[in-house]
Structure formats: structure tokens, C-alpha cells
Amino acid sequence: MIIDIWKQPAKGLTKETIGRTEEQILQKEIEIGFKFPALYKEHMKLQNGGLLWKSALNYNGEVNELLCNDARFDPIISCNGYKTLKDVLVEYMDKEKLENSSDTNFLYLDRLPILSTMNGHTILCFDYGYNVENEYETPEIVYFELECAENGYEERIRLKSYDELINNLVYYGYESTSFYIGIKSNESIDKIAELIDKSLELQLEVKTDDYYGWYNFEKWYLGKLKLNTSLLVDIKLTPNQFLSNTFLFQNNKELNYVIDIDLRLGVDSFQDNSNNLKSIIMEQFQPFLSNVDWTFLEIPFHKENKIELEKIMQTF
């Protein structure tokens, strides 16, 4: 079974975002002159580009926030007109400089179909052998720096395949700090909210807005839990399924509700030491969790940060 990597749109899939057919993907392959990796094609059959749940890259002992600042995988039929890195570079680079920009005797920039236009300063491409004589049958993945590159574009990260990219993506970064718990229950969301209130001695507030476009529910609940005099937890209780029939966590459709837990100290949000933070959350939420069928859905990638951890522990 292919794991769905996408953050499904709260308002539902549209004609542009719905998964592509085999025929549409084949047409794109004919257009660029290369065959896409099998896993990539399966992902595009699920959804035509978008935001990913796991957007940081854990590679060579380092964790980098790769797809940040709203960066996403481009739709397989792109609306911006760019097909390859060459299409981007010819807009701002001198032709002669571009032709002499390679360190090898080979330069085939049209062998770099775009996977993600990122934030405009960097770009993520399939590489079918742009700087070698013979093209690759299976593409590698290259992350290019554009804005600060001396020759107009510079390799920063290279992975052997699309599969390797996906397998090394993790849930981490300033946009990925929440711990998500899934709840399986036939009770109404109001009953679940009452149980949380009673177990944790707080008062969740009912909400009906779309939370800046991320939600599409009849109602959801919001509250703050004080762990000690300094440490706060933002809590959101929502259904798992949007009114549009897409899901917050589509790989766990059997779960009815989702609890979003975000640890905070003042206005600072913690994104490291998730193993240690998980134990704190488990201890605090145990009175509630012991009464429901639950599971962790997402936990931020654990990155040891002794300075930040000491700052947290000092609050206890």
C-alpha cells in the first residue's frame, strides 16, 4: 500500500488538485521526454501536488527544513509555465554565462524537470544527467541554490532517487512542532471535549472558523493547558474528516478525532527534544488517554538540543 504523503486541502480536491490519471502522467512524460519514478507517479495519482506532512530532510546526519515557507511539490501539469531548471535560468542569466556554467564538458539543463519550485530562491529537480554525457534512466534528485549561487545555480544536496528523498523526509521544523493524537470513538466531539475538560481540569472553547484556511469543520475546540508556571500547551480538538470529505490524516480514516498538542514557553515554540517532550505530554494527558482508544499520529523528529532541553527542565 502506498502511503499518502499529502496534506489534503481542507476545502476538498479540485479539478486541478485531484490525482492525475495514468494517461495524464504519460502525456507529461512524453512532453518532457523522460519517464517519472514509479513512486512519484503513485503519489501524483493520489493528489496533483501540494504540501507534504513531512517536509524536512534527515540526511547525512543533519536535519534541514527543506520544504518550508509554504514550499510544496509542484503539480504534474504546472501552472507557472516552468518545465525544467533551464526555463527558470534563461529568465535572468546571460546566455553565454549559462552555456559556460558547467564544470564538466556536458550541460543539458533540459534534463532537470522541476519537482518543486520551492520559494523562488532554491529549486528541487529530477536529474536525468544534466552534467554527464549519457542520460540516466532513473533520475536522481538535486536541490539547487539559485539566488546566492556564483554561477546562477549551485548543487547543495543530491540524493540517489525520488524514493530516497521520500524515505528521508521527516516531520520537523518550525511549521511541524505539534504532537498529534488520533481518537477512535463513536461519541460526539462535544462528549470528547467534555471528557478532556473533566480529565485535565480545563475549559475548551468551541470554534466554528476555518483556522486561517486549514480547517473545514462544523465546529472544533481550542484551549490552553498550563503544565507549570511557565510551560503552556495549546490544544486543538477537531474531527479527522473535513466537511469536504477530505481528511486531516487520510492514512488513518478509521480515527474520528484528532488532538493537536503544541508545547510553548511564553511565545517560544519548541521543535527539538521531542522524545523528552513526549514523556511530559503522556504524563499530563494520561487521565484523559486512559479513557479512550488513541494513538500518536505525528511526533516531531527527535533532535537533541541540550540548551533547549535545559531551558524546559528548568521550568519544572
Between residues 98 and 186, which one has the greater pLDDT? 186
Domain match, 144 and 253 both:
no
Query: Rounded mean pLDDT of 164-182?
Result: 95
AA letter at 84: T
Q: Do residues 287 and 309 both lie within one domain? A: yes
Measured CA to CA, the distance from residue 142 to residue 125 in angstroms comes to: 5
Q: 189 with 285, same domain?
A: yes
| Tens-digit pLDDT profile for residues 117-168 | 997 789 999 999 999 999 999 999 999 999 888 888 999 999 999 999 999 9
Domain assignment present for 280: yes
- Assess if residue 131 is contained within a domain: yes
Both 290 and 151 in one domain: the answer is no
The share of the chain scoring above pLDDT 90, in percent, equals 73
The enclosing domain of 30 has a CATH number of 3.40.1580
Closest CA to 216 of 242, 193, 190: 242
Q: Is residue 73 part of a domain?
A: yes
Virtual CA dihedral for 77, 211, 206, 196, nearest 10 degrees? 80
- Per-residue pLDDT band for 175 (boundaries 50, 70, 90) equals confident
Residue at which a domain ends, from 142, 170, 198: 170
pLDDT confidence of residue 149: 82
Is residue 224 located within the same domain as residue 101?
no
Write out pLDDT tens, residues 6-16.
999 999 999 99
Note down the domain range covering 142.
Answer: 22-170
Instruction: Tell me how far apart the alpha carbons of residues 164 and 167 are, in angstroms, rounded to a whole number.
Output: 5
Residue 128 is assigned to a structural domain of this protein = yes
Gap between the terminal Cα atoms of the chain? 44
pLDDT-derived band at 81, boundaries 50, 70, 90: confident
pLDDT for the residue numbered 78: 52
Query: Mean pLDDT over all residues of the chain?
Result: 92
**Do 148 and 193 lie in a common domain?**
no
Do 71 and 165 belong together in one domain?
yes
Q: Based on the domain organization, do 249 and 285 belong to the same domain?
A: yes
pLDDT tier at 174, thresholds 50, 70, 90: confident
| Residues paired with 155 in a beta bridge | 144
103 in the Ramachandran plot: left (φ > 0), alpha (ψ -120 to 50) or beta?
A: alpha
What CATH number should be reported for the domain holding residue 192? 3.30.310
**Is 240's pLDDT higher than 90?**
yes
Domain finish residue from 170, 199, 216: 170
Q: How many domains are contained in the chain?
A: 2
Q: Evaluate whether residue 16 is within a structural domain.
A: no
β-bridge mates for residue 220, sequence order? 207
Q: Is 4 inside any structural domain?
A: no
pLDDT tens digits, 9-57: 999 999 999 999 999 999 999 989 999 999 999 999 999 999 999 999 9
Q: Considering the domain boundaries, does residue 269 fall inside one?
A: yes
Given a cut of 70, whether residue 80 has pLDDT beyond it is: no
Nearest partner of 288 among 316, 266, 312, 257, judged by Cα = 257
| pLDDT score of 302 more than 70 | yes
Rounded mean pLDDT, 252-276 = 86
Q: Give the residue from 143, 43, 28 showing the smallest Cα distance to 85.
A: 143
Same domain, 158 and 223: no
Shared domain for 124 and 236, answered yes or no, is no
Is the separation of the CB atoms in 271 and 177 below 8 Å? yes
Write the single-letter amino acid at 32: I
Q: How confident is the model at residue 310 (pLDDT cuts 50, 70, 90)?
A: confident
* Domain match, 27 and 164 both: yes
Which of 170, 202, 226 terminates a domain? The answer is 170
Please indicate, yes or no, whether residues 128 and 33 belong to a single structural domain of this protein.
yes
The mean per-residue pLDDT over the stretch 103-119 comes to 90
Would you say residue 17 lies in a domain?
no
Instruction: Report the percentage of the chain scoring pLDDT > 70.
Output: 97
